[in-house]
Amino acid sequence: MTRALALLAFAALLPLALQGCGEDVRTVQLDFVDRDPNAFSCVDAAGERLLNRARDARASVVVDFLRTPLRFCQVTETIRQCRDPGCPALPELRRCYDVVAEGPLESDLDVLRAVEASLRSSGEPVLLDAPDESVIVRATVTTQTCAAVEEGAPLGADQLLACALSCPVDLGQYEGVLDLDLPTTLESCTIQEVAVCAFLDRLPPE
């Protein structure tokens, strides 16, 4: 049975619609967790907000699906498991969306509105067939263009703006809101936590 995974956009969510044959229709909405720190509040080594890197109000949101042996959600265990045996990305499922804001990306709300508008205008399906396995959904916001990403350029740590992960999920069985959160238990957020999220599929073994 084919299940299509389509990115739509409304409210402050990044919705995914799982559509299938007959009655097999599911809707999954990806929602950034609102807490302190959140995925958009991180700073670099000098204490400057990462959002300040998007001075020309341009960014991209890269959506990845990472294969995982995990069936539960716990930050330290996720990072440990993704170091060994690993959480490889499914490269054929990667999607990238250019984000062009009407004004400076100075706040969390600016970024969410810009991402939402870009996804709404795309109207393209993310997947033609949802993976029949447990995955982690990752959304990475970067100053790199989608053209560079689609040409195979690796994401650069100096271009990251934000990153968030879902808990492991079987998209063929799940329906409802799927939270995306920064993978940290700390009370502050630096580029180090964002980089762990963005490079979770290629962390070196300890």
Q: What is the pLDDT of residue 128?
A: 54
* Domain extent listing, the chain: 36-123+132-166+185-202
Instruction: Output the pTM of the full model.
Output: 0.83
Q: What is the mean pLDDT of residues 68-95?
A: 84
98 pLDDT higher than 90? no
Lowest mean pLDDT across 59-63, 96-100, 160-164, 191-195: 96-100
From 164, 154, 206, select the one nearest 189 (Cα to Cα): 164
Q: What is the mean pLDDT of residues 69-93?
A: 84
Report how far residue 10's alpha carbon sits from residue 78's, in angstroms, rounded to the nearest whole number. 30
Q: Are strands 160-165 and 58-67 parallel, antiparallel or unpaired?
A: unpaired
From 35, 39, 37, select the one nearest 164 (Cα to Cα): 39
| CA-CA-CA-CA dihedral for 82, 80, 159, 186, to nearest 10 | 150
Q: Please list, in sequence order, all residues whose beta carbon lies within 8 angstroms of the beta carbon of residue 192, skipping any fewer than 6 positions away.
A: none
| Token pair in block for residue 122 | 């795309």
